[in-house]
Structure 1
Amino acid sequence: MSDTSDPRIASDWGDWLPRTIEAAEPDGVAVWYLGCNGFVLKGSDETSVWIDPYVGLGDPPRTVRMIPVPFDPHDVYDADAVLATHEHTDHTHGPSQAPILANSGAPFYAADDSLAVTETEGWTDGWDVDPDQLNEVDEGDSFSVGGFEIDVVEVADADATHPVGYVIRYGDTTVFHGGDTKPHDGFADLGETYDVDLAVVAFGSVGRVPDKETREPQRTRWYCDENQAVEIAEALRADRLLPSHWDMWKGLTADPTALHEHVRSFAFPERLEVVEIGDRIDL
């Protein structure tokens, strides 16, 4: 999954979304869905954490973006940190993320293979990003961003070379973002350790996507199916399950409302949170 987009991103929505996030004054934690697997978490102290923001178009005709480009990253100034879950283009992407770092001076947190992408794409040369903004994290690490306490956790994404997940705490509120993870034995332990209010789980269909090298269509599963998504939320004992990524790529899109039938008989998650690109929920 790679693209070589022009560094300037043309937004379909102008700058209303970053201005809305910038002006928001949440009582607790507000969460905006950016489409794909991108999110912004903003606390009552006005600290904002951006996770996997991506506004690229993919690599047509292999990966074709199916949703609007909701913002131009050059319009984002209100960011206190940017987190990446793994090295794939729709999670670590210079044209999407480097302008945010340049404008805001925010630190970027990512595992080694994601940081390798920043070097390959020349983030410090092509954009005004200081090398000191780029921070390597590994499973078991913890760091703070304003009022947010962030723990780096192990996930299971066989398509990535070094994926990580994040457990993000703000007071009594806890959010899990696992990137493109599938079920993992360690999630039950996380469910015992943390009181997870919201679990973000990448969800999609199985489809035929052209191979990166041969361009021949191949049966492709990049994200959880219905049962796997619920399995993760159940293991985490999450109050809410928020499916992500279902909207993004042609051939792999899915209907998140189908998850209602899958969660019905389980104690966890207690609630299915179906959102569309640009939506806000409050925790």
Structure 2
Amino acid sequence: MPKKKIAQMRKDYAGLMPKKGWVKRNIHFFGKRVFTQVFKRRLGTTSEAVLDPPPSGVARITWIGHASFLLQFADHSVLIDPNWAHWHGFVKRQRNPGLGIKFLPHIDLVLVSHAHFDHLHKKSLKIVDSREGIVVPKGSGSLVKKLGFHSVYEMALWDELTFSDLTITHTPCHHWGARYLHDTHRDYGGYIVKSGNLTVFHCGDSAYFEGFEEIGKRQHIDIAIMPIGAYNAPSGRDVHMNPEEAVKAFQELGAEFMIPMHYRTFPLGNEPDHEPEERLLAEAKRLGLEDRIIILDEGVGIELEGEFSSSGENI
């Protein structure tokens, strides 16, 4: 079977064809979203990470921007989807990275959710070093093998990797993994990161689908990092969740807390910049979940301690 057919067999494959009305949506995107922000000054500040690890039984989670996160445990540091780019093609980064790429703590492992340029950013990956190497979905190893990592691990869905007491599980999502139109064989998904009794779920890019309940059944999740932006895609394709769908997915996961991502940084959808966060908080309030939604600013971490209790920390 040709490689390009492999991804298309997955029920959660979003496909590549745009929906009706894509020309009008793209005209709006370039005219109202891209061109109007080119000359705007980037907001936010870049800070130095806290180099000391958190105490045993505590996880420190810091949003760098977009889908990039630094997870720090007592004995491990994990970097997910690192991206320090100032531009994503013709789309300008609107907020500075929360942490400086040259002032990170020692990184044990890098995780990349899929091969899209805003998640697998080669220039950032070339700067980052990690003791155990880099993890990518099946089919993307060739993209990172020359970036300086001594070990490259490709994971299929539900595969697990263990490094001492750090366990990584590759989870499904509803998206697509092609870096270019011809390489649809590349896989895509999220990750469950577990260290000690603390578990963090990074969803990767995803539209809403029925697989979130299954993910939650397989592993209790303390923090779910969920995408809430770019849901009004210029292509019209079903590739990203809106905020209400993200809350629904969070509930189906059975997670204790939710941190939103994939908004503010790059304007990749036709929705206004302020809308994802406003809709998220409105939906959480409607459902009585506002105390379980944690809105982070770039460079500001949340510390999770013990069983289901949390404390904020400005990093």
Find 1:54's aligned residue among 57, 80, 83. 83
TM-score with structure 2 setting the length: 0.70
1:147-171 deviation per Cα after TM superposition (whole angstroms, max 9, x unaligned): 3211111111146552121111122
Gaps (5+ residues) in structure 1? 1-11, 124-128, 210-217
TM-score with structure 1 setting the length: 0.78
Q: Contact (CA 8 Å) 1:52, 1:92: kept in 2 or not? A: yes
Find 2:137's aligned residue among 90, 104, 111. 111
CA–CA separation in structure 2 for the residues paired with 1:261 and 1:139: 33
1:144 lines up with 2:175 in the alignment? no
Q: Which residue of 2 aligns with 1:17?
A: 48
Aligned-residue RMSD, C-alpha: 2.6
Displacement of 1:114 in angstroms is: 2.9
Q: Percent identity between the aligned chains? A: 21
Using a 3 Å threshold, how does the CA distance of structure 1 residues 261 and 91 change in structure 2: closer, same or farther? same
Using a 3 Å threshold, how does the CA distance of structure 1 residues 271 and 134 change in structure 2: closer, same or farther? same
CA–CA separation in structure 1 for the residues paired with 2:294 and 2:116: 26
Displacement of 1:75 in angstroms is: 4.0
Q: Which residue of 2 aligns with 1:85?
A: 113
SS in 2 for 1:233: helix
Displacement of 1:203 in angstroms is: 1.1
Q: Contact (CA 8 Å) 2:250, 2:258: kept in 1 or not? A: yes
Displacement of 1:186 in angstroms is: 2.0
Structure 1 or 2, whichever has the larger Rg, is 2
1:260 lines up with 2:291 in the alignment? no
Using a 3 Å threshold, how does the CA distance of structure 1 residues 44 and 204 change in structure 2: closer, same or farther? same
CA–CA separation in structure 1 for the residues paired with 2:284 and 2:45: 34
CA–CA separation in structure 2 for the residues paired with 1:58 and 1:146: 37
1:189-220 deviation per Cα after TM superposition (whole angstroms, max 9, x unaligned): 222222211111111144576xxxxxxxx567
Range 164-173 or range 65-74, more displaced: 65-74
Gaps (5+ residues) in structure 2? 1-43, 179-185, 305-315
Using a 3 Å threshold, how does the CA distance of structure 1 residues 249 and 168 change in structure 2: closer, same or farther? same
Using a 3 Å threshold, how does the CA distance of structure 1 residues 23 and 225 change in structure 2: closer, same or farther? same
Q: Which residue of 2 aligns with 1:189?
A: 214
Using a 3 Å threshold, how does the CA distance of structure 1 residues 59 and 173 change in structure 2: closer, same or farther? closer
Q: Which residue of 2 aligns with 1:178?
A: 203
